[in-house]
Amino acid sequence: MANKSGYAAHLRTYLTGYVLSVVLTIAAFWAVLAVGRENKSVLILVGLLGVAQLAVQLKCFLNVTTQKEGRDNLALVLFSTLILLIIVVGTAWIMGNLAVRMHTTM
Amino acid sequence: MNGTPSTSNPSVNPGQVPGAIHKDPDMVIFGFWVFMMSDLIFFGVVFAIYITMIGATAGGPGPRELFDFGSLFAQTMLLLTSSLTVGIATVTMKHQRSQASFLFWVVVTLILGLGFLTLELYDFSQMAAQGGVPQRSGYLSAFFGLVPLHGLHVSFGCLWMLVLIVQICKVGMLDIIKLRFLRLALFWHFLDLIWIGIFSVVYFGGWVYG
Amino acid sequence: MDWKVDTPMGFSQNFIQFFRWFSHFFPRPVLALPVIILFLLNANPTFASESFLMPLGPVAHEQKTHFFWATALTMVAVLPVFILVPIILFKYRRKKGTGIYTPKWEVYGPLEVVMWGVPFLVILVLSVMLWRATISLDPYEEIQGVVPPVKVEVVGLDWKWLFIYPQLEIATVGELVVPVHTPVSMTLTSDTVMQSFLIAALAGQIYVMPGMTTKLNFIATKLGKTQGENTQFTGKGFTDQKFDVLIKNDEDFQAWVAQVRASGIPLNEDTYNRLATRTTREEAHKELATAQMPAQAIYFTLPDASLFQDIVMRYHSGKPLSIEEQPGTEKFGRDKEVEGAQP
Amino acid sequence: MNEYGWLGKLNWDSLVFSKLITDPSVSEFVASTAGSIVIIATVAILGLLTWFRVWGTLWSEWLTSTDHKRIGIMYIVFALVMMTRGLLEGMVMRAQQAAAPDGFLYADHFAQLFSTHGTIMIFFVAVPFVVGLVNYAMPLQIGARDVAFPVLNQISLAVTVASGILLMVSLVVGEFSTGGWSAYPPYTGGDFNPGVGPDYWIWAIVFSGAGTTLTGINFTVTIIKCRAAGMKFFRMPMFCWTVLCSSILMIFAMPPLSVAALMLGFDRYLDFHFFTNDLGGNMMNYANLFWLFGHPEVYLLVLPAYGIFSEVFSTFSAKRLYGYKSLVIATMSIGVLSFTVWLHHFFTMGQSPTINIVFGIATMLIAVPTGVKVYDWMATMYRGRIRFTTPMIYSIGFLILFVIGGLSGVILANPTVDFQVHNTLFLVAHFHNVLIPGVLFGLLAGYNYWFPKAFGFRLNDKLGRWSAFLWVLGFMLTFFPLYGAGLLGMPRRSFSYMDLTFKPYMLVAFVGAMVVLCALISLVVQLVVSLRDRDKNRVPVGDPWDGRSLEWSIPAPAPSYNFAELPRVTDRDEFTEAKEQGRAYLAPKVYRDIEVPKNNPLGFILCVLSGILMFALVWYIWWLALISAVAIIVAVIASTFRWDSERVIPASQVQEDTEKWLEQVKKSRAVGRDLENTPANVGYAKLEH
Ligand code: HEA
Ligand code: HEA
Ligand code: CUA
Ligand SMILES: [Cu+2]
């Protein structure tokens, strides 16, 4: 992405993002189907691939960057991610714990 | 509002949209980002509910019985490709290629989006045929609370696209319309991001743990 | 107007002036109010025994201690506000104030440290207390006593509590009797909406939910009588959902068990379903109790020891539960008759 | 779902009056009276509007206006109307508990009272009041012409008002939910509550929640992108910081509530199983979701109030705000921490002690930044010249009383103690103790403080102080006894009790409620008297309090475009600095045309349509729901076909206005603070230091 303003360069950014995303998607599908559900740790792999793809798309499609002009957006996305994590992890923790403690007699 | 438009943003940079815009484009786009983040939390919460309900199949059909990965893969590819085409449309717009080529890419996106929706609906009907209806269990409620929510967003995006096409045909590429399209493009990319979460967590997570 | 800069003034003089100025803020009739309040509060000085302020066992006792400690510690950070605000107002009031005036003064390092530091330290101490107390009072933790615990299974119904003593093969409604100095180990569920179970004088509350079980452990160390209740609003009969708690010594407890066995009616499916309809304890008493039972309580024998389990499993059948099969709904059991239940 | 006719569940028996006919009891009488008041008031208002022929003005100046100041005022008026209902409900509840064990209300009626009271006070009084004040003051403080998205602003107001009206309708048609403001299922689920009550709650919450989210987005973008030149973040008035933080809370905290309410709706309408007892539903998820929203919500309300207090303390102590940076950091930490404590509302659910400890400590941590704030306000007064005006009395009352409420909050944050006092009146006392001295006193202070800016004349200060005293006193009498009753174990939401120990507490509380009523009446009297005397108390120059921030640098009432020339900011207390350096009241170098958004009927249309949609959904009138939903979409799409949405105010007009005002400034006499509350004060402050 040397020439940032050219038409071709812009197109190339998108195409790169697309190709990477396709590869990552196929990798995720392949991992799950190949490993199967007996080995639950496959989800870690899927998770990593998902996060990678999120990063790729954020960068190439949505153009969230660390450059000065994009800082507002980046800060926003990071803060939202923080809240999202608090909410999702917190919920999973609380509800998981409750599920265990509520069914001990069953 | 003295927005000096940013220039670093190759895909959604409104700075190169010529002519006077009543609103500071930077502000409008940022506002839309904020909205998307709110929507992200909305989705996140529903994801969280889904995660807590993976086990709650109540004897009904679960992920193992219901999921069709072939169709899932097709949907994923349709959506991902539409994300690319909407991007190409953005670039054509930004570099002031012909309106026809711009419209072409928008229409392609629309078709891909509709294709995605058709497949998704077909999937749902297949699930329903096997007893996979939201009334059956907490798990299925959570599934049908989340995946169609994404579908609803996609339908909304399609409607938005249609309206824009009509408007462009009526009045041409006004700046205000360009700005609207830039937001639509953002929205569309955002839905693709959510979809990554859906196939990873809902489908794969559900399938492995369900 | 001219500003006296920190005129020295006698302390007591200052003080009197301060109070005169302070009472300025309140119109005369207002000063009579404290009297009225004291009068009203004295009208009925009995102290409710259904409070953790009058604990009957160590759990509630510790909660009370913790309550007082937390209050006292918080005061450390809060009292300065009560003391300093009036003084500042007095000294720096515009008219006749005597303090100096520094309109641009806006930050002072050491003061910042105190402002952040003091609350932080107080919270630090409180956190340690909180940590210890929370661990030691985990309601799920069985109390280690000399004798093995009495097991009680509690079912929240609309609008009464059912107590099942699985080991003793009895059950009661409206009356919970526990032997003194014996740990009590409760498992709780609900057969209607979510409720919250509380015997304030013995232990804190815990939610009960359909299809799930929670636990509550406590021990009574004083003989006596208190009351338990539901604190989570559940509709019409909510405020009547109370029960007596009697703490008896071993002999009396055994006698009571015998009495329940003797006078109890069997808690079979039929009686249970009648019990589980939307009625208050009083109405259920009218319907089910026999003459041998006390005015407030219903006694049962327990033909089926797995009753509690069945109640929990009602919600795990994998089949939808129609409204007619759901205790606590209007349609469950006899549909009519609940009308007329007005205050 | 075809079991109902074309009017859905609606029939004659749904009207509240028909119940009075079948059952002529006190309870039904009270209900019918309330219903009649709604109807009579509506008819009276419509009648008056027609009589005075103000429909035209109303339409062109208010209902279609996109001016943030007008929208703010409409928000506040709406909040006051709802507040009247909420307050009266509070009174009736206090009367019922004072009269218990032989009260005069049915249990269900009492339950509707606390449910509507809580819902109204939080969602339709506190939130719109806050949003209204922010709308009015914040763009002025940051030197902007309007909020970032004026039409969106209008839409937010529209859906909020529509939901409020829906709540009012529930007084007349059908009944409201009995599940409290938190509406926990399964009690509010279809099995246990087949009536329309919870449906009213759900839709009111979903729509007003959407409005609040949009408002949050709007405010955030306004503050981040529309500040005047030179106004760096650390030059913003404190109020704007708190608003920024509060808006962020709106953006991130409302979604969980919307999700919770919608899922409850799915359970009720479509037989889903999110929170049902059977088939794997899990009501704990609801509690979790609700408080994921509920806790940030209370800080969402109190933070702007903190901001108002900051302005008031510094203005009426004639001193810079002490510890500005500390206050900013404290505000931001409260904002972030508020997302980490929600579990303290269900310590008693049964989770492990570890979880309770983590959330308990996180909760207590909030006391640290809050304490810093309290101390900073004290330090602001320290070495100042304190003037005991109405806003200041509220602020002082707040300082003392709020600390007590915060203290009880910290006590509640101890899980072991909470096990005992959860769901008791102790909790009720806590939250009224933070909500009334915290939020409401702040709003009242703001109302007295900014009123002259909005309407051009001061409110009567003497009556204002009277009512402030009555508020303080009434509050203490009403809610301090509840701490006692709660410790003695009286559960909240009790419509009755047998234990006479509680009686005296309830009697004192009732006396207190009467005092509060007097306070409210004195507020009304204050308003009426001030309106009568308005010509004596005009402050056209615009700076009645020797203000420190930009909003005081323009005329009162503020012109529709706010600033003739957008200001350039060099200091935190910009206007004070300007006054001291002689930069105030200067004519702009050049006058320019100013673009402002045109009036737009979209808000009004959406208000009507969403109102109909909600009503149709509540009553299962599907065809109507469908039509109004489609109409909403069509209206929105149609509005995107308006290409020229701006209107130009010509430079000549701006020049004329401004010169007239500057002329006035020259003619006016600057007054010192001792004459602040006399007619001599025309809003031109004399330099005193
Ligand atoms: C902001 C929130 C708020 C406010 C102000 C109040 C105010 C009052 N509340 Fe509140 N109350 C709640 C929020 C609030 N309440 C909530 C959330 C619940 C829980 C509901 C549930 O259980 O689900 C509750 C429950 C509740 C109960 C039920 C308690 C129980 O569960 O047993 C009672 C009982 O008496 C009560 C009484 C009162 C009274 C007498 C007042 C009044 O004394 C206070 C008077 C207040 C006003 C009169 C309004 C303030 C004035 C203004 C806004 C400014 C006016 C400005 C101008 C005119 C310019 N409240
Ligand atoms: C504006 C509203 C508001 C505010 C500001 C607060 C502030 C706080 N609240 Fe409150 N709360 C509510 C509104 C609010 N709350 C409502 C509506 C409910 C009930 C909802 C329902 O169930 O219906 C509730 C319920 C509630 C609970 C749940 C209780 C239960 O359900 O059993 C808890 C428990 O931790 C709690 C804690 C706190 C704490 C620790 C603070 C802290 O933020 C307080 C911090 C302030 C101070 C501490 C005072 C000043 C500080 C100093 C002078 C410094 C020094 C102090 C120390 C070092 C201690 N609140
Ligand atoms: Cu809460 Cu199970
Ligand atoms: Cu909270």
pLDDT for the residue A2: 38
Query: b/e per residue, C286-321, with b = 16+ CB within 10 A?
Result: eebbeeebeeebbbbbbeeeebbbebbebbbeeeeb
Q: Is the pLDDT of residue B118 over 50?
A: yes
Q: What is the mean pLDDT of residues B77-86?
A: 95
The whole-number pLDDT of residue D51 equals 82
How much is the pLDDT for B20?
Answer: 37
pLDDT at D96: 87
Distance CA C278, CA C157 (A): 8
Q: Helix/strand/coil (H, E, C) string of chain A?
A: CCCCCCHHHHHHHHHHHHHHHHHHHHHHHHHHHHHCCCCCCHHHHHHHHHHHHHHHHHHHCCCCCCCHHHHHHHHHHHHHHHHHHHHHHHHHHHHHHHHHHHCCCC
The whole-number pLDDT of residue C106 equals: 85
Question: Quick check: A105 and C187 CB within 8 A?
Answer: yes
Give per-residue burial for A43-61: e unless 16+ CB within 10 Å, then b.
bebbeebbebbbebbbbbb
Q: What is the pLDDT of residue A48?
A: 94
Find all residues with CB under 8 Å of A12, minimum gap 6, and list them.
A1
Q: Do A56 and A4 share a domain, yes or no?
A: yes
Q: What is the mean pLDDT of residues D248-268?
A: 95
Instruction: Say which amino acid occupies D330.
Output: A
Q: Which residues of D47-101 form beta strands (DSSP E)?
A: none
Q: What are the tens digits of pLDDT across the range B27-36?
A: 899 999 999 9
> pLDDT tens-digit profile of D180-219?
999 999 999 989 998 899 999 999 999 999 999 999 999 9
- Report the relative pairing of strands C175-179 and C242-248 from DSSP bridges: parallel
**A72 shares a domain with A54:** no
Res C199: pLDDT? 94
Cβ pair A56, A21 in contact under 8 A? yes
C148-207: pLDDT as tens digits? 999 999 999 988 999 999 999 999 999 999 999 999 999 999 999 999 999 999 999 999
Residue-level pLDDT at C339: 45
Confirm or reject CATH 1.20.120.80 for domain B25-58+68-209, answering yes or no.
yes
Residue A15: pLDDT band (50, 70, 90) is very high
Q: Which pLDDT score, from 0 to 100, does residue D50 have?
A: 81
Measured in Å, residue D470 CA sits from the centre of ligand 1 at 16
Residue in chain A nearest B201 by alpha carbon = A47
Mean pLDDT for chain B?
87
CB neighbours of residue D646 within 10 Å: 11
Three-state DSSP class for C314? helix
Predicted confidence at residue A7, as pLDDT, reads 82
**Among chain A residues, CA nearest to D284:** A95
pLDDT for the residue numbered C22:
56
Last residue of a domain, one of A45, A63, A81: A63
Amino acid residing at C196: S
Q: Which of D292, D373, D306, D304 is nearest to D338 (CA)?
A: D292
Is D25 an 8 Å CB contact of chain A?
no
A4 and A15 co-located in one domain: yes
What's the pLDDT at D401? Answer: 94
Q: What does the pLDDT read at residue C32?
A: 57
CA neighbor of C92 nearest in space, from D313, D561, D39, D190? D313
Query: What ipTM, to 2 d.p.?
Result: 0.91
Q: Around ion ligand 4, which residues have CB less than 5 A away?
A: D 295
Task: Report, as an integer, the average pLDDT of B120-141.
Answer: 93
| Total domains, chain D | 1
- How would you class A97 by CB atoms within 10 Å of its CB: exposed for 0-12, middle for 13-18, buried for 19 or more? middle
Q: How many CA atoms lie within 13 A of C104 on its CB side?
A: 5
Return the pLDDT at D394.
Answer: 94
Instruction: List Cβ neighbours of D625 (8 Å cut-off, separation of 6 or more).
Output: D613, D616, D617
| Cβ atoms C315, C327 nearer than 8 A | no
* Bond preceding residue D186 cis, omega within 30 of 0: yes
- Which of the listed residues D121, D187, D345, D529 should we mutate to test ligand 1's pocket, taking the one with most ligand atoms within 8 A of CB? D121
pTM of this prediction?
0.92
Could you please report the per-residue DSSP string of D419-465? Answer: HHHTTBHHHHHHHHHHIIIIIIHHHHHHHHHHHHHHHSBPPPHHHHH
Q: Going by CA atoms, what residue is nearest to atom 16 of ligand 2?
A: D431
| D389: Cβ contacts below 8 Å, ≥ 6 apart | D316, D448, D461, D464, D465, D545, D676, D677
DSSP code string of D379-427:
HHHTTS-B---HHHHHHHHHHHHHHHHHHHHHHHTSHHHHHHHTTBHHH
Q: What is the pLDDT of residue C107?
A: 86
> Hey, where are the domains in chain B?
25-58+68-209
3-state secondary structure of D545: coil
Query: Is the beta carbon of A102 within 6 A of some atom in ligand 3?
Result: yes
- Judge whether D624 lies within some domain: no
| CATH number of D395's domain | 1.20.210.10
Backbone angles phi, psi at C137, to 5 degrees: -110, 20
With a 6 Å cutoff on the Cβ, whether C238 touches ligand 3 is no
Question: CB distance A98–D350 less than 8 Å?
Answer: yes
pLDDT surpassing 60 at residue D653: yes
pLDDT of residue A72: 80
D373 lines ligand 1 (CB under 6 A): no
Taking the centre of ligand 1 as the mean of its atom positions, its distance from the CA of residue D117, in whole angstroms, is 6
Is the minimum CB–CB distance between D339 and chain A shorter than 8 Å? yes
| Contacts by residues A2-11 (CB-CB < 8 Å, ≥ 24 positions apart) | A4/B8, A4/B10, A5/B7, A5/B10, A7/B91, A7/B95, A7/B97, A9/B10, A10/B10, A10/B11, A10/B91, A10/B94, A10/B95, A11/B88, A11/B91
Using the predicted structure, report yes or no on whether residue B166 has a pLDDT greater than 50: yes
Mean pLDDT taken over chain C: 84
Asked if C20 has any chain B CB less than 8 Å from its own CB, the reply is no
**pLDDT tens column, C298-313:** 999 998 889 999 999 9
Q: Are D98 and D506 in contact, with CB atoms under 8 Å apart?
A: yes
Listed by number, the residues of chain C in 179-238 with a beta carbon closer than 8 Å to a beta carbon of chain A are 187, 209, 212-215
pLDDT of the residue at D583: 85
CA-based Rg of chain A, rounded to a whole angstrom?
A: 19
Helix and strand element counts for chain B (H, E): 7, 0
Q: Distance, CA D340 to ligand 2 centroid (Å)? A: 14
Per-residue pLDDT band for D88 (boundaries 50, 70, 90) equals: confident
B50-64 as b/e: b if 16+ CB within 10 A: bbbbbebbbebbbbe
Distances (CA, A) of B11 to A78, B1, B88: 20, 23, 9
Say how many CB pairs under 8 Å bridge C and D: 330
Provide the pLDDT for residue D17: 74
Is the minimum CB–CB distance between B58 and chain C shorter than 8 Å? yes
Token pair, residue D483, equals 């701490």
pLDDT in tens, C128-149: 999 999 999 999 999 887 889 9
Over range C247-270, report the average pLDDT. Answer: 93
Q: How far apart are CA D559 and CA D67, in angstroms?
A: 10
N-terminal to C-terminal alpha carbon distance within chain A: 60
Reported confidence tier of residue B9, pLDDT bands at 50, 70, 90: very low
pLDDT tens profile D430-482: 999 999 999 999 999 999 999 999 999 999 999 999 999 999 999 999 999 99
Per-residue pLDDT band for D645 (boundaries 50, 70, 90) equals confident
Q: Which domain holds residue D242?
A: 54-600+645-675
pLDDT band, very low/low/confident/very high, at D172 (cuts 50, 70, 90): confident
With 0-12 CB in 10 A as exposed, 13-18 as middle and 19+ as buried, what is D289? buried
Q: CATH number of the domain at C150-316, please?
A: 2.60.40.420
Q: Please, what is the Cα angle at D253 between D251 and D258, to 5 degrees?
A: 95
Domain that holds residue A59: 1-63
pLDDT in tens, D320-353: 999 999 999 999 999 999 999 999 999 999 999 9
At C34, is the pLDDT very low, low, confident or very high (cuts 50, 70, 90)?
low
Q: Is the pLDDT of residue A106 over 80?
A: no
Order of strands, sheet of C298-301, starting from the edge strand that comes earlier in the sequence: C214-219, C183-190, C150-157, C160-165, C170-173, C298-301, C265-266
Which atom of ligand 3 is least distant from the CA of D282? 2
The three-class DSSP label of residue D191 is coil
Q: How many CB atoms lie within 10 A of CB C65?
A: 13
CB contact (8 A) between residue C82 and residue D403: yes
Beta carbons of D326 and C115 less than 8 Å apart:
yes
For tokens 């937010």, what's the residue? D156
Question: Which residues in chain A touch residue D351, judged by CB atoms under 8 angstroms apart?
Answer: 94, 97-98, 101
What pLDDT does B158 receive? 96
The ranges assigned to domains in chain C are: 150-316
Q: Which two tokens stand for residue D564?
A: 């003739």
Going by C-beta distance under 8 Å and a sequence separation of 6 or more, which residues neighbour residue B205?
Answer: A43, A46, B51, B54
Length of chain B: 210
When pLDDT is cut at 50, 70 and 90, the band that residue C21 belongs to is: low
One-letter amino acid identity for B186?
A: L
Instruction: Give residue B69's pLDDT.
Output: 92
C93: β partners: D386
Residues A9 and A45 in one domain: yes
Chains contacting C (3+ CB pairs below 8 angstroms): A, B, D
